[in-house]
Amino acid sequence: QKEVEQDPGPLSVPEGAIVSLNCTYSNSAFQYFMWYRQYSRKGPELLMYTYSSGNKEDGRFTAQVDKSSKYISLFIRDSQPSDSATYLCAMSTGSSNTGKLIFGQGTTLQVKP
Amino acid sequence: ETGVTQTPRHLVMGMTNKKSLKCEQHLGHNAMYWYKQSAKKPLELMFVYSLEERVENNSVPSRFSPECPNSSHLFLHLHTLQPEDSALYLCASSQGGIYNEQFFGPGTRLTVL
């Protein structure tokens, strides 16, 4: 079983739709949860970061963590064609002093005008 | 230059060649990482350097040889690679510690013939 599972998609939605991206994980020691966005031919960039359980909102983006279910989500409201990218979830236990992250496979999102 | 830069951006090499990938970070960070990104697979952490000392080596074949001469530069020396080594190689840096955001470079797209 992979430590982090993420549906690779692709996911195609019309502009303005609400997008839900999800990851499940098996290691209950994970405490730090991140979402990275990767545009074509670019490196990943941090989009959202959450510590432990709860919600975090930043503009059109909301990150949710449910540690009891080992499930994290990223919601994108009023999706735009510029949101078309691959979204990677990443997690860390915090036990490594090198900040080691475990990544999901990434979900490719296409937002059609 | 700002952020994390990588050269070359594209590299094609034969199985008997020797080449090197270069990464430079302009962020004052003290931890640097090499990742391998293959299609349909999660980011694979290859090496971690903290304060110029290699602190993690994730069972990477010896045909990949990292070098960190100072906290701003990271190299990945390649020799006698296999076609399955073709991938996007990403460099990242962070401030280090339990959790710190990792900043990624644009990657080197490597093709092994």
Q: Is A2 on the interface with B (CB under 8 A)?
A: yes
Residue-wise pLDDT for B35-86, tens only, equals 999 988 889 999 999 877 777 777 899 999 999 999 899 999 999 999 999 9
**What local confidence, expressed as pLDDT, does residue B18 receive?**
93
**Model confidence band, residue A110 (pLDDT cutoffs 50, 70, 90):** very high
Q: How far is CA A22 from CA A52, A58, A75, in A?
A: 16, 17, 9
**What local confidence, expressed as pLDDT, does residue B40 receive?**
80
Does residue A26 carry a pLDDT above 80? yes
Å from B17 to nearest chain A CA?
25
Contact assignment for B31 to A41 by CB distance below 8 Å: no
Å from A111 to nearest chain B CA?
20
Contact assignment for B104 to A103 by CB distance below 8 Å: no
Q: Are A13 and A109 in contact (CB under 8 A)?
A: yes
Interface with B, mutate which of A38, A47, A92, A100 (most B CBs under 10 A): A100
Identify the residue whose tokens are 């499930």.
Answer: A71
**Model confidence band, residue B16 (pLDDT cutoffs 50, 70, 90):** confident
> Could you write out the DSSP letters of every residue in chain B?
--SEEEE-SEEEE-TT-EEEEEEEE-S--SEEEEEEE-TTS--EEEEEEETTEEEEE-S--TTEEEEEEETTEEEEEEES--GGG-EEEEEEEE--SSS-PPEE---EEEEE-
| Residues 6+ away with beta carbon under 8 Å from A52 | A31, A65, A67
Interface contacts A/B by beta carbons within 8 Å: 67
